[in-house]
Amino acid sequence: MPASRVPAAARRLAGLLVLALALSPLAACARGGSPDRGRPPGDTPGVGTGPGAEPGAEPGEPPAPDSAVSDWLAYLTLEEKLGQLFWVGLPGTELTDEIRGLLAEGKVGGVIFFGRQGSDPDVLRRLSGELQAAAAARDRATPRLVIAVDHEGGLVQRFGPPFTQWPGAMALGAAGSSAHAEAMGRAMARELLAVGVNMNLAPVADVNNNPANPVIGTRSFGEQPELVARMASAVAAGLQAEGVSAVAKHFPGHGDTAVDSHLDLPVIGHARERLDRVELVPFRAAVGAGIDAVMVAHVVFPAVAGDGRPASLSPDVVTGLLKGELGYAGVAMTDALDGMAAITDTYGVEEGLVLAVEAGADVVLVTESFGRQQALYRRLLQAVEEGRIPESRIDDAVGRVLALKERRGLLPPLPGAARGEGAEDAPSSNSVETAHPAGAVGAAEHQALADRIGADALTLVRNAHLPLALSPGEQVVVIGPAYARGLDGADGVVTALGAGIKALHANTVEVALEWRPEPDAIAHARSLAEGAAAVVYAVADGHETPAHLALIRELIAAGKPVIVVGLGMPYELTAAPEIETYIAAYGFRDANLKGVGPLLFGRTPARGRLPVSIPGLYPAGHGLDLP
């Protein structure tokens, strides 16, 4: 919505955000993953852009006097209440008989979209509409659905083109601009609402301070807690100012693990003092700024969880730390319980569901168990009926979910008798029909913003060759990423990287290599590079790939100017210290690549600063200016 229409609730929350950012050391001084697996002081989101949109109060505040949450709690049956906690996935682009049955009985409160739903805006809009219609087609009043998706940008963005393909969080961290972060959140929200999605499972609030982390990496804004807090809060502010719920994840922090919770159960053994000083900083900021939901990780924190359980199943973490100590009154949700070995191989999905709700989870995600959704819902209901989960725990959880839905316009009017005398019907917002128009998806101004963020993130870490000064007869050979969006290659370039360089130096040719290239592809790249005056070599996490490292070293040893562009975590220098010129781009989307050409030829400044340290070489905050 336009800034002039941001409600009082959003303005109050923006004040909290500005205060939180003002207390951050980086608020005044902000400068300085692989495909398979500059800024002004005090740069903060402005008043009127903070999390929280009409109608209703923000998390952490008492419900508004006209809130309908208590009436809804009195109206819903136990089975319907439990349904508000139970959020599921779909196997494709059609409603299954199983999901139709759950919706017909009011046993689902939310649906999570994935890549398997595709990226066609018309299909997504139709699917969202069908889901909402099926939820509403009962003879009893039913809250509308939360429809969510992982839309972080970078490595984790379920919707591909024509949706704007955003740089990831680490690029935002390198650019360091809260204004960029908030604007990106707003643009994301407009595109999501255009297809009926009203929750973004973002931002990632993990502090990525472990170079061996296999699952977070460039999904994090960086290794400095204050930077992560500032940027995550700004993205959330943008999302929620436009009416899309934001979700801070993965509480209390997944950034310092060397284990992927999709594959095993990570353990973070730091003392509580360290958690307070590092991991919890961004989450405290998000809670203080009124974020709608917090996703709890499947990670064990012995310093907090005396029961030894992963955070998502531990009362010590969910109820004690998040809701008690941090005072969080919004929705605590689990990460997926049925698609991650941290739960499935240790507790099992059925027991995991019960333990999560017992621990204080207000929403449980069951995204992969097609054909078992009804049975899993019944297992939860059985745990309540047997007294293992008190109904008071269900009422607390449902009250939080209903409050979120009320803020986002997802509570239709109750029948008159159920809502008391004199109650007036209230219009519902966030429907597919009243959301942003289809033209919001991939809008030109959104792509321009993505390109600006990507260019501002480019970090000149080491420099011996820039700016390039080549004669027209001298050739630039670009070794680009085959996993980036491909061009037709008719003019000798195959990615946005090559195209951006060729636009400034016509004698440019590009060859693309996979993340793990075949020997014949390496040989072809080598033969092209032999006649080059300069080689631009772009690679994601090349420090982990012997074939790339060997070719980089060979080209440098031949005496050629080699400019290495890092498209993942910026650690190539740790494996190949002989690299003389290194640019960190933090991703392989077009927006990460387009700005490289202008930087190479000195047409634009090098604005980015490292959001993570390069072990043994450069600290976070390092970055060179062009001479």
What DSSP line would sit under 172-238, residue for residue? HHHH--HHHHHHHHHHHHHHHHTTT--EE---B------TT-SSSGGGSS-S-HHHHHHHHHHHHHH
Instruction: Please count the residues of the chain.
Output: 627
The residues, ordered by sequence, that sit 6+ positions from 73 with a Cβ below 8 Å of its Cβ are 81, 395, 398, 399, 402
Single-letter amino acid, residue 262: H
List beta partners, residue 563.
Answer: 536, 581
| Four-CA torsion 74, 77, 82, 83, nearest 10 degrees | -110
**Helices of type H across 289-372:** 315, 341-344, 349-359
pLDDT at 209: 83
C-alpha–C-alpha distance, residues 9 and 328, integer Å: 17
Whether 55 has a pLDDT exceeding 80, the answer reads: no
Given this model, what pLDDT does residue 336 score? Answer: 87
18: pLDDT confidence band, cut at 50, 70 and 90? Answer: very low
Give me the pLDDT at residue 490, please.
84
d(CA 147, CA 87): 9
Cα–Cα separations (whole angstroms), residue 111 to 102, 200, 223, 276, 521: 12, 12, 32, 33, 43
Q: What is the pLDDT of residue 258?
A: 54
Q: How far apart are CA 542 and CA 536, in angstroms?
A: 14
CA distance 136 to 567: 45
Per-residue pLDDT band for 13 (boundaries 50, 70, 90) equals very low
Say how far apart CA 143 and CA 405 lie, in whole Å.
Answer: 8
**pLDDT at residue 360 is higher than 70:** yes
**Of residues 399, 458, 444, the one with CA closest to residue 595:** 458
Contact 142, 80 (CB under 8 A): yes
Please say whether the beta carbons of 51 and 238 come within 8 A.
no
- Map residue 10 onto helix, strand or coil: helix
Which residue has 């994090």 as its token pair? 220
Reported confidence tier of residue 5, pLDDT bands at 50, 70, 90: very low
* C-alpha distance from residue 449 to each of 221, 354, 383, 488, 615 (Å): 18, 43, 49, 25, 31
The pLDDT value recorded for residue 254 is 80
Cα–Cα distance between 165 and 484 in angstroms, integer? 11
pLDDT at 26 over 90: no
In the predicted structure, residue 379 carries a pLDDT above the cut 80: yes
What is the reported pLDDT for 346?
Answer: 74
Amino acid of residue 460: L
Residue 244 has pLDDT above 80, yes or no: yes
Q: Which residues of 213-224 are buried (b: 16+ CB within 10 A; e: fewer)?
A: bbbbbbbbbbbb
Task: Tell me the average pLDDT of the chain.
Answer: 87
pLDDT category at 182 given cuts 50, 70, 90 is: very high
Distance of CA 381 to the CA centre of its chain: 32
Would the pTM of this model clear 0.95, i.e. be above it?
no
Catalytic residues: 262, 335
Among 279, 308, 283, CA closest to 295: 283
